[in-house]
Structure 1
Amino acid sequence: MQPAPLPISPDLWLTQLFASRTAATGGVVRRKTRDIERIVGHERFMAELDRHGFRAVQNGGQTIVFCNREPAHVLR
């Protein structure tokens, strides 16, 4: 059995994420961690975060990306 084809190319997925209005204005975006791993892969996603200077956290199967260069602090 072959894996299902990707619904979107990795390049397009990354372009849409980082070109979104939320990302462009320094906001916060959330994506399912399994989608990131399935569509673009962990290493490439981390490289793109580095390239943009963004930070991200994972919790409960979600990845939250802070689309700015400000420090992120976990409060509790």
Structure 2
Amino acid sequence: MTRYDPIPAPHNPGWRNRLFGAKAAQSGGLIRRKKRDVHREIGYAALVAEVQARGFHLIECGDQYLIICHDGQMRVIC
């Protein structure tokens, strides 16, 4: 029987540092990235971990991830 290991998640700390070092991330703004870019550069699990570690909010909409770079309470109006 052959054992198949899962493909390791991508890891690109430079891309991650640029993403969360952006002016929007530092000033409580919004960051938007295509899902395919996130999956290619750092992987979904790493993105979620980074967002949670900062207390930010992550929204998936279509082919985009939206990161609300603020730890305040969030309310969706419509």
* TM-score normalized by the length of structure 1: 0.81
What's the counterpart of residue 7 of structure 2?
Answer: none
What's the counterpart of residue 55 of structure 1?
Answer: 57
Question: Which residue of the other structure, out of 38, 59, 64, is the alignment partner of 2:40?
Answer: 38
Q: Distance in 2 between matches of 1:15 and 1:51?
A: 14
* Greater Rg by CA: 2
Question: Which residue of the other structure, out of 18, 25, 28, is the alignment partner of 2:27?
Answer: 25
Q: Distance in 2 between matches of 1:30 and 1:44?
A: 16
* TM-score normalized by the length of structure 2: 0.79
**For the aligned residues, what is the CA RMSD?**
1.2
SS of 1:70's equivalent in the other structure is coil
Which structure 2 segments of 5+ residues have no match?
1-10
Which structure 1 segments of 5+ residues have no match?
1-8
